[in-house]
Amino acid sequence: MHHANHFYGHAHVLAGYCGLDPEHPPRIDGYVQHGWNVVDGLGAGTPYVSGRPIFVWSEQTRRRAWSMGRRYATVIGAPWLYLLATRPAERGVPRAGTIWYPFHGWEGQHVAGDHQRLIDEILETEDGPVTFCLYWHEFNNNRIRRRYERAGRVVCHGYRGLRWLDTDTRFLHNQLAELRAHRRVASNRLSSAVLYGAAVGCEPAVYGDPMHLDGEVRLTAERIRRQWPELHGRHPDPADATASALSELGADDLASPAELRAVLGWAAA
């Protein structure tokens, strides 16, 4: 339905879980939530067509969507968890260090000193090697990438795609391999990546300057800190944090391959 269904190869992961060709996922007659959010599961600016289902990650998101007038939300859980179901962890693979997902508005909103302060705080907090994971457009920006390269290893999971084009369908696979190689996952804002890391055994943490964008409503960020304190801090309790992360990803609501096919409109595919 909407091209966001192909972001990060979500449709491809779901097709693989359903036993269909992961390279050519059938059309999904609705909107798959493509990232963790504190609204109705749709990305900002998604042109929602009323009556089409929104496939959200958790029951909490569904309730929120309903309260916002979205009556067609169905909980399926995060595609990330379906990927995990098809790619069980190998035993005895060593984990080391922290993978850090910096959130920032680079395009002129902040002076460089803010970023250096964040990097300093990260290196002060983390006791092992730090891998910085940048968003694709930051990774392609030499100035930004070099700043982080001075502090540690820098990776990018891939390009999420736009209008069904250039989607890196291995995005989540790359992310899974990186997360499974690290002991901790952290960011300065609670985000999908932190939840994903917690779901695969990383100790999650959210700390550091949240780097608010100019004009951004701070109420949302403050609300997130109030609602999920168990995921915030330099060393939150890993058990509580992981339980909370799994709940946000909808771990209890995952459908069987057959049910997911029926729900996504792939029963005849």
Partner 1 sequence: MNYQLIGGEMADFTDREPVGGELAAYLIGLLRPLGGRILLAGPHAPALIGALTGFAEVTCLVRSQPDAAALADCGATVLCGSLAKLTGAERYDAVVALDGVERLCSVEGPQYDWAESVRALHRVLRPGGALLLAVENELGVHRLVDRATVTFAHTTDAWRPEGEFGAKPGSPARLEARLAAEGLTVGWLGAAWPLPAAPTFAATPAALRDGPSGALSAAAAASVAAAFAGTPVLSDPRRLTAAAIRAGVGAEFAPGWLALAFRGTELGVLVPPVLSGGGPAADLPAGRVLEELLIGACLRHDLPAIRRLLAGWVASEPTAGFDNVLVDGDTYTVLDPARATGEPGGVLRRFAHTLLAGGYAQPWPAAADVPSLTTILLAAAGLAGTVPDADDAPPAPHSLREHEEQVRRLEEQLADAAARVAYVETELIYRDAELRRARLQIDAFAGKVGYRITKLGARAARRAVRAVRRTSPLFKD
What residues contact residue 154 under an 8 Å CB cut-off, 6+ apart?
A: 131, 132, 133, 134, 139, 145, 148
Q: Which one of 44, 45, 47, 93 is in contact with partner 1 (CB under 8 A)? A: 47
252 counts as binding partner 1 under rule CB under 8 A: yes
Site for partner 1, residues 86 to 105, rule: CB under 8 A: none
CA dist 160 and 167 (Å) reads 5
CB of 227 to partner 1, least distance (A): 20
Least gap, CB of 84 to partner 1 (angstroms)? 18
Following DSSP, what letter does each residue of 126-168 receive, concatenated?
-SS-EEEE--HHHHT-HHHHHHHHTTSEEE------BTTBS--
Q: Nearest distance from residue 97's CB to partner 1, in Å?
A: 36
* CA-based nearest residue to 214, from 102, 133, 111, 101: 111
Q: Does 11 bind partner 1 (CB under 8 A)?
A: no
- 29-48 exposure pattern, b = at least 16 Cβ within 10 A, e = fewer: ebbbbbbbbbebbbbeeeee
Cβ proximity to partner 1: between 18 and 193 the closer is: 18
In the set 15, 81, 154, 255, which binds partner 1 (CB under 8 A)? Answer: 255
The site string for partner 1 over 120-139 (x = CB under 8 A, - otherwise) reads --------------------
220 is a site residue for partner 1 (CB under 8 A)? no
Tell me which stretch binds partner 1 (CB under 8 A): 42-50, 132-140, 141-149, 170-178. 42-50
Asked if residue 189 binds partner 1 (CB under 8 A), the reply is no
- Contact residues toward partner 1 (CB under 8 A) are 29-30, 47, 49-53, 59, 62, 71-75, 252-253, 255-256, 258-259, 261-263, 267
